[in-house]
Amino acid sequence: MGPGWYPDPTGRQPLRWFDGTRWTPQALDGWQRPVVDPLPTVDDAGSETPPSGLAPPATGAVPVVPGPAASPEPRTVPAPGSPPPGSAPPGSAGSPGVPWEQGQVRISQIWRLLVVAGAAVGMAFGFLVLPWIELEFGGHRVAVGYLEFADWARTNGVHVGGWRIAYADGLAVLLAVVGLVVATASAVATILWGRTPGCAVQVLMAVLWALSIAGTPPGRIVDLPWTGPPYAVVGIAPMLVVASYCALMFSIGDFWSGKAKSRRGSS
């Protein structure tokens, strides 16, 4: 019988190489990948007769051609337990047991932290630099910052609501610190342990966002104890703080992994 791939007489692999004289350890698994599957040893007497069940292929048996490579000699047969040729090394993206989008997840977490950092910068500008309200005096305006707004309203008897006064008395800064800490911790937890924020974190961030809107002064303060100028209008700082909370909600969302999962499902 000539050499070739024949059904494995041991039954452990689909095909095994017969060199024309005896069976060899070279075999092909169900994916036609070369594997080394040692044969049972000869009997104690050293007989050349193949062990029971390993008789040569039957007369007239036709060798199986498993593909472009029919002989194991020109190919490097991997050792048992090693990954097949062309496969990704263990622990890398695309290898068995590792999500294919792992590299994408790493990049997305970097963007999460960058978004949180941008929100922190926006809040700092809103509380310390930009005007909370502006007073219009004819052709020019005078800025009133966040740190001055509550005292200005109390001193001049301007009624803007108890929550807006409390928000401007330092509560806004405290809530902003809570939001930044929660968003940063969520991003770090996702990077280190792969844990995405739960519903409670998203609800908390939405509540902080709603409170920031409630603490924003009205677009034009009409309940003033005087008539005529100056007129009080809202500044850009409150809107920047609200936008920063929107960025924090975006940073804890599951947008990147959801996109990766949908892409994986369509592939």
109: in domain: yes
**Tokens in use for 224?**
């003033």
110 and 203: one domain? Answer: yes
Residue 148's contacts (CB-CB under 8 Å, 6 or more residues apart) are 132
Residues forming beta bridges with residue 27, ordered by sequence position: 16, 35
- Asked whether residue 237 carries a pLDDT value surpassing 90, the answer given is yes
151 and 229: one domain? Answer: yes
67 and 181: one domain? Answer: no
Model confidence at 74, pLDDT cuts 50, 70, 90, reads: very low
pLDDT tens, 119-162?
999 999 999 999 999 988 877 888 999 999 999 889 888 888 89
Contact of 78 with 87, CB cutoff 8 Å: no
Q: How many domains does the chain have?
A: 2
How many angstroms separate the CA atoms of 22 and 3, rounded? Answer: 9
**Tokens in use for 98?**
């590792």
The span from the first CA to the last CA of the chain, in angstroms, equals 45
Three-class SS state of 141: strand
Give residue 226's domain range.
102-248
Is the backbone peptide bond immediately before 99 cis, with ω within 30 degrees of 0?
no
What is the reported pTM?
0.56
258: in domain: no
238 and 119: one domain? Answer: yes
Contact of 215 with 238, CB cutoff 8 Å: yes
Instruction: Provide the residue type at 216 as one letter.
Output: T
pLDDT tens, 89-111?
544 444 444 443 444 555 557 88
Model confidence at 214, pLDDT cuts 50, 70, 90, reads: very high
Ramachandran region, residue 32 (left: φ > 0; alpha: ψ -120 to 50; beta: rest): left
171 and 227: one domain? Answer: yes
237: in domain: yes
